[in-house]
Structure 1
Amino acid sequence: MDSLHRPELLSGTIAAIEPFGVFVALDNGPAHPVFPGVGFISVAELSWRYFEKATEIVQVGQRVSCEFLQFDTWNLEARLSLKATQPDPFQAFADSTAVGQMLHGKVTKLAPIGVFVQVAGGFIGLVHLRDFALTPLHPSDMPQVGDDMMVVVTDIDRQRRRLSFSLSRASRPG
């Protein structure tokens, strides 16, 4: 395994899916006490997209090709990335979206800091609570999970892959 370097690709079969990641039985991998020739993909390295469970991305028995990240000498496994083999869809979204652009979205979560809104492509951004303070709303007028709303893009952070929104005038009551 010492001869492996990033971004070398390794192929194998999904051997086990755990809450913390996925074990891959590699075609040519290191020795391992549980899964000989194993690689490991952490949850963060499975997909660029948001998902609830790893089974939304891979299934036991599925063949995969992953990028080698490093060899974990403590666990005797190759650390792998499935998402590194795919283009980051956020970057394409950022290329086609401009600050000031109005987008249609759906409220996915309410939080103490604001409202999370999912726009086309499955990308989620935050409308900060202070934005609602600019137009005082009665609590019954606050958006709820599942509500449709128009938002304006206020920031696209490519590095951290984050979107910030403000309320569009069309979304504000009265």
Structure 2
Amino acid sequence: MRSGTVAGFDGDDVLVLLDDDPGEPTGRIPRHLVSWTAFEHPSEVVAVGRRITAEVQAVDERGGHVLLSSKACEDEALHRHLLGARPGDVVTGTVAAVHDFGVFVRLDGEPPHPVYPGTGFVRVPDLTWSHVDHPHDAVRPGQRAPGEVITADSYQGEVVISLKALQEDPWDRHPLRVGDVARGPVTKTLPFGAFVRVAEDVEGLVHVDDLGGRAVEEGQELRVRILEIDRPRRRIRLAPAD
């Protein structure tokens, strides 16, 4: 964090004379990093001559400017909460809101967030190992949700967590091998092939070339053989076994 004095405005940016600046102000706070409060112009939130504490977002070595966020430090309790969240920590909270872009979680012991319904946030891929069409297929508001901290994001003012990290990996539960034959439903058809569920929460792709012109539709049962397993990329290549 850096401290300084508001020196003026450049359009919607706030210029800050940092405490170690020799003359001209080198600190700059872009409009979107000024405050959680809604405003028409930053002068409604900060005044020239005001002392300010802000978090460093980036340093432009060539231009000599320091990009700052006063919003990150505006709520002292929230900033302290974010600084205390470490990657790998296990936290628990209550699902506060479910959106198509992710899920907000009200973490136990968190301070109120100035904008969001909770400081915890779960991205859609981090909800579950299962395929879901929408996050509300995985969680519901009011549900208790344990998760593992991925990162604390002071830019957004949230703790990014993964619920999936604390769930058993279905690839460990079902030790599939190349050459195995399985039967499962087609879960999705696309121009390049069809996905088939070969075990609970495990799907593989039958490429259109391997279908050989055979028409398949969602829900149809297929008997398939595992041709290739790419565990790092979590991909399974299949071919019809009939």
> TM-score, structure 1 length as denominator?
0.83
- Write the deviation string for residues 98-151 of structure 1: whole angstroms up to 9, x where unpaired: 101111122222222122212231422111122233xxx5xxx52233222211
- Write the deviation string for residues 52-87 of structure 1: whole angstroms up to 9, x where unpaired: 122222111112211111111111111111111112
SS in 2 for 1:165: strand
Letter in 2 for 1:15: A
Letter in 1 for 2:162: S
- Deviation of residue 37 (structure 1)? 5.5
**Greater RCO structure (CA 8 Å; 6+ sep):** 1
User: Unaligned stretches of 5+ in structure 2?
Assistant: 1-81
1:117 aligned to 177, 196, 201, which one?
Answer: 196
Matches of 2:109 and 2:235, distance apart in 1: 37
1:159 aligned to 202, 226, 232, which one?
Answer: 232
Question: Which structure has the larger Rg over C-alpha atoms?
Answer: 2
Aligned to 1:63: 144
Q: Work out the number of aligned pairs and report it.
A: 161
Matches of 2:91 and 2:211, distance apart in 1: 49
- 1:95-174 paired onto structure 2 within 5 Å: 96-133=175-212, 137=213, 141-168=214-241, 171=242
Letter in 1 for 2:217: Q
Matches of 1:27 and 1:109, distance apart in 2: 38
Q: Given that residues 28 and 37 in structure 1 are in contact (C-alpha distance below 8 angstroms), is that contact kept between their aligned partners in structure 2? A: no
2:95 aligned to 14, 17, 35, which one?
Answer: 14
Letter in 2 for 1:20: F
User: Unaligned stretches of 5+ in structure 1?
Assistant: none
- Write the deviation string for residues 29-65 of structure 1: whole angstroms up to 9, x where unpaired: 3552224761111111111111112222211111221
2:122 aligned to 17, 41, 44, which one?
Answer: 41
> TM-score, structure 2 length as denominator?
0.61
Asked whether 1:91 is paired with 2:172, we answer yes
- TM-aligned CA distance change 1:152 to 1:107, over 3 Å: same
- TM-aligned CA distance change 1:57 to 1:167, over 3 Å: same
Aligned-residue identity in percent: 38
Aligned to 1:2: 83
Moved over 3 A (4+): none
Q: Given that residues 127 and 162 in structure 2 are in contact (C-alpha distance below 8 angstroms), is that contact kept between their aligned partners in structure 1? A: yes
Letter in 2 for 1:73: S
